[in-house]
Structure 1
Amino acid sequence: MKSNEGVIQKNAKYHELDAKANIIYKFVMKYNDYMKTARDYGTGEIINMMEVHTLTVIEENPGITVTEVALEWNRTKGAVSQILAKLEKRDLIIRKKEHGNAKNVHLYVTDKGEVLSKAYKNYDIKELTWAEKTLRKSFTTEEINLFYKVMQKYTELLDMPDIEQKK
């Protein structure tokens, strides 16, 4: 009988934790779709959020390298290089080799890239202000700030090696 109670308790615990995890899963899936959706940020250029975020990192950090962009976004250099190739093809960025060291390539936005990056920032300000205003109808500023703090800590947990997560 005791073993049956243990199974029931474990099953109940699983369903309790799974219900919470499903909230995160649904958010991640919806946000991922949102990031992949190409849109016009006000310049007529249709681009997805990952591409425009990469463009903005370059605009804010002239001369940044592929490796540094990869570290910023926790992506492989190969994945970042694919995004950079798209941005370069659209004349949004240029690559410049370091004088005397052809191995180091530095990234810069073009005038067209700078216009798009700034338009995106304006779009983002409006979008994030709207989201925060909407959330404030249901939550206090402190609760919203706590949400961001929890998300930051959860991101750090995901960066831990598997063995560390299970302790």
Structure 2
Amino acid sequence: MENLQSSHPKSNRGIRHIGRLIHQLRRLERQPRSFGAAGELTPSEIHTLEAIGPEDGVLMSELAARLDVTKGAVTQVIAKLEAKAYVLRVSHARDSRASVIRLTDLGKAAYAAHEEEHIRFYERLRTEFDDKEIEIFERCVDRLIEALKE
């Protein structure tokens, strides 16, 4: 290990940065955040609302695929969001075994507040980085996500 560290100091620094990033993301995942009038939501809850989106509804199975989680995991989050009045679960018009998930007005308000957060994040990036640097950042994030899936 010492030879690796001494022969590749830049890669070791990168590994430490990735470790710090993962640690910070884990910390953030545990903390609920306020979304204005929509109230407090955990990261998994707000990301579920984001995956549902403001469209007319999404099948539970499609939602699980969008989030890259099991149907059981999505069912648990949806139950919490339904109890908090952020979503409605209704039977599919043509397949009574399937559930369609829709955002309520409160869910749409949380979705909009989260989208505003994303806009502010990118506005901040644009004050610190040029378009090419942002493109590189986005490519790096995509590659990191793919590497973490392995």
| Normalised-by-shorter TM-score class | 0.7 to 0.9
1:142 lines up with 2:132 in the alignment: yes
From the superposition, tell whether residues 120 and 24 of structure 1 become closer, same or farther in structure 2 (CA, over 3 Å): same
On the 8 A contact 1:55/1:117 being kept in 2, the answer is yes
Q: CA RMSD in A?
A: 2.4
From the superposition, tell whether residues 59 and 9 of structure 1 become closer, same or farther in structure 2 (CA, over 3 Å): closer
Instruction: Measure the CA separation in 2 of the matches of 1:15 and 1:66.
Output: 46
The 5 A counterparts of 1:29-108 are 29-43=23-37, 45-108=39-102
User: Cα offset for 1:26?
Assistant: 0.8
Stretches of structure 2 that go unaligned for 5 or more consecutive residues are: none
Aligned-residue identity in percent: 23
From the superposition, tell whether residues 101 and 140 of structure 1 become closer, same or farther in structure 2 (CA, over 3 Å): closer
From the superposition, tell whether residues 92 and 105 of structure 1 become closer, same or farther in structure 2 (CA, over 3 Å): same
2:141 corresponds to which of 137, 147, 151: 151
On the 8 A contact 2:85/2:104 being kept in 1, the answer is yes
Instruction: Measure the CA separation in 2 of the matches of 1:141 and 1:55.
Output: 29
TM-score (norm 1): 0.75
Name whichever of 104-113 and 28-37 sits farther off: 28-37
Cα deviation digits, residues 35-94 of structure 1 (max 9, x gap) = 432121111511122211211222334321222222212222222222111110001101
Greater C-alpha radius of gyration = 1
Instruction: Measure the CA separation in 2 of the matches of 1:45 and 1:10.
Output: 48
